[in-house]
Amino acid sequence: MEKISSKKLAEILNFKGNIVETEISNVATDSRIAKKGDLFIAIKGEKFDAHDFVPQVIEQGVDLVVVEHLVSGVPENRQIIVPSAIDAFGAIGAYNRSLFKGKVIGLTGSAGKTTTKEEIKFLLSLFGKTYATTGNFNNHIGVPRSLCDMDMSADYAVIEMGMSAKGEIEKLASFVKPDIALITNVYPMHIEFFENFEGIAEAKAEIFKSLRPHAPALINEDTNFANILKLRAQGNAADIYTFGRSEVFKEENGEYTADIQGHVVKFKLADNAEHYLYNALCALNVVAILGLDVAKAAAEIQNFGALAGRGKVSQLKFDKGVYTLVDDSYSGQPEAMKFAIKSLDKMPCKGRKIAVLGKMAELGDTSKQQHIEVGQVVAESKIDIVVGVCAEMKDMLSQIKDGRQTFYFENKEGVADFLLNKLLQNNDIVLIKGARYSSKLYQVTDELLKKGS
């Protein structure tokens, strides 16, 4: 980030008190690593209050802290008092973003955000220095962190925004102020926090409210409520672009031919699953909007591979031979679950296809039906063996009535051992998919990767 004087910082945070004259070159929220030259922001968490560590960071050399109340034992001229430390973090991030000379691509969506973000970064890196959100730092703390950590010499920055409630994207987008705002898709993710499915589309569309002047919007034309997204983009976006299946007019031997905003290109993907095609079309459209060489990007896109936890494929050894692990354990969103099942169904396999599926979370009253629908997709597939993890998956398993093998676990405990020692055979493919923090199946993939490396 650019250096900020304490005087400018007080101005940004609307603080009228006297503070020490200094400059900050970094923002820290972790007291363990805060050092001289850092601004420490004391954020209150569910399990801790960073105000308790303010004296410690001062001893470590930090000259200035942002707090919500005066901390005793610390000089008053070292403390900037604000109503909300998190909002202050956002304001500082927004200021740093305002100094960025490159183009900022802001994206949100129900599924595939992080993979799409990385794919856009991958393609834009062909044309210039590109910065992107680290991991999935996409919430009220992660977005300010991403904006403060921006490489100010970059030509492009790709900032991911997530949400679980109305108003969250609007606030994050006000910090990001994107030069291109895009929505990957709208699915019933976090639906328990909304009155209806349409409310999720309205919340995603908040990203368009803070577009910079003359900035365009990019929308998945095939997603749920695409008409609402386009309507909300009107009046905020200078132009509205779309991406989707209509751009692809030929598929042959794993090669796609598509018309990307007037640029007819051919490309192949590392994985031909439908959701990866949409990610690719989105990324190629960003390249086109920026006026870059779409043909060059299309020629390289096959070199972009799936990320860990988001469909990454690994060949692993065990005492019976080798098997293929499809690690899609990061998210358990219903549509992403269905995509993953269909992708497994299409994969060539010399052994058996095994789906290990964990519960899907934050679905509210729709949970039972959503789990049943996933089971129906499995039932229509040719997947050989299905393992359900967590009570909700009983509804999924109940849809598989054709006599194929099914297994049930109350939780993730024992699943890895069962796979390795009782179920897996040479040349099998196993997909692991489920809500990360609810099913915790990522811990199963971690164990498999550790033992198969």
Domain boundaries along the sequence of the chain: 4-83, 100-303, 312-452
Token representation of residue 214: 């003359």
Superfamily of domain 100-303 in the CATH hierarchy? Mur-like, catalytic domain (3.40.1190.10)
Rg (CA), the chain: 24
Closest residue by Cα to residue 57 from 75, 82, 81? 75
Amino acid at 247: E
CA atoms within 13 A on the CB side of 120: 33
Contact between 100 and 153 under an 8 Å Cβ cutoff? The reply is no
Tell me the CA end-to-end span of the chain in Å, nearest whole number.
Answer: 38
Contacts 24+ apart (CB under 8 A), 302-306: 302/267, 302/268, 302/269, 302/270, 303/122, 303/270, 304/118, 304/119, 304/122, 304/123, 304/269, 304/270, 304/280, 305/270, 305/271, 306/115, 306/270, 306/271, 306/276
Q: What is the CATH number of domain 312-452?
A: 3.90.190.20
Each residue's pLDDT expressed in tens, for the chain with a length of 453 residues:
899 999 999 999 999 999 999 999 999 999 999 999 999 999 998 888 999 999 999 999 999 999 999 999 999 999 999 999 999 999 999 999 999 999 999 999 998 899 999 999 999 999 999 999 987 789 999 999 999 999 999 999 999 999 989 999 999 999 999 999 999 999 876 677 777 889 999 999 999 999 999 999 999 999 999 999 999 999 899 999 999 999 999 999 889 999 999 999 999 998 777 888 999 999 999 999 999 999 999 999 999 987 777 788 899 999 889 999 999 888 788 888 998 999 899 899 999 999 999 998 878 888 999 999 999 999 999 999 999 999 999 999 999 988 899 999 999 999 999 999 999 999 999 999 988 878 899 999 999 999 886
Domains 4-83 and 312-452 alike in fold: no
Cα–Cα distances (Å) from 222 to 34, 245, 432, in that order, read 46, 7, 27
Q: Does domain 4-83 have CATH number 3.40.1390.10?
A: yes
Token representation of residue 312: 């990454």
